[in-house]
Every structure is written in structure tokens, then in C-alpha cells.
Amino acid sequence: MAELAALRRARLAAVTGTELVAWHEALARAVDRISRWRRLPDSEPVGLGEWVAWLRTTYRLADRLPERWPDDPAITAELAALHRAWQAATAASAPGADQLHWHDALARVLDRLQHWQEEARRQLL
């Protein structure tokens, strides 16, 4: 995700044609790397639980995504929506930019999850 943020900053800073060409080439390389996660090996169709386990491992989210996520209806709903978006973004017919948009959605979901977890902690006090 840091790579995508750097690409966004580089795009905003690019003014000349040469800089824009370099930015597009960097974007193409990033999309190629991202497309490697297009499918989970030998596991289609994948259920939500298996996909969340993959997500927690692949993106090192164990500290941000609680292991007991199924116990919280709001978190489960967010993850189910994110899973459907991932399926659409990784479909063979999906444009490469959909994968970038999915990463933006992931960042927004993680922000909301953090907020909800903080609220839940405050309510326990």
C-alpha cells in the first residue's frame, strides 16, 4: 500500500511528458505485482472465512483485524463487502485499475474498523 501512496504522490508531482511516461511505467509495474494476488492458488471458490485468513496473512493485518471478527456484525459486513469487491477486482475481465481501487477500499475499511474497535474499547470502560 505504501507503493500505491508513493505512486499517487508521484503522479501529482509529474508535470512534464517525460515524468508522466515514467509514472505510467511505474504504475504498470505496480499493477503487474498486484495482479499476482489475483487468485488464491487452488482454492476457488473461496469462502469469507478462508479469504479473511488470507487477507490477514497477506497484508500482515493480525494486529488490525481481530481474530474474532465473525462475532461483530459490522466488521463481518465490512469484510463481506470487501470480499465481494476483491472478487470483482480480480475477475479475469476486470481492468487493472480495479485492483488499485480495491486497495483504496481496503485502507478505508481498515480505518473504519480501527474506529469501531476504539469505540468498543471505550464502551467497555
pTM: 0.62
Strands (E), the chain: none
Write the DSSP string, 6-28.
Answer: HHHHHHHH--SHHHHHHHHHHHH
The pLDDT value recorded for residue 34 is 56
2-48 pLDDT per residue, tens: 666 666 666 667 666 676 666 666 766 666 555 554 445 444 457 89
Domain chopping of the chain, boundaries: 1-36, 46-124
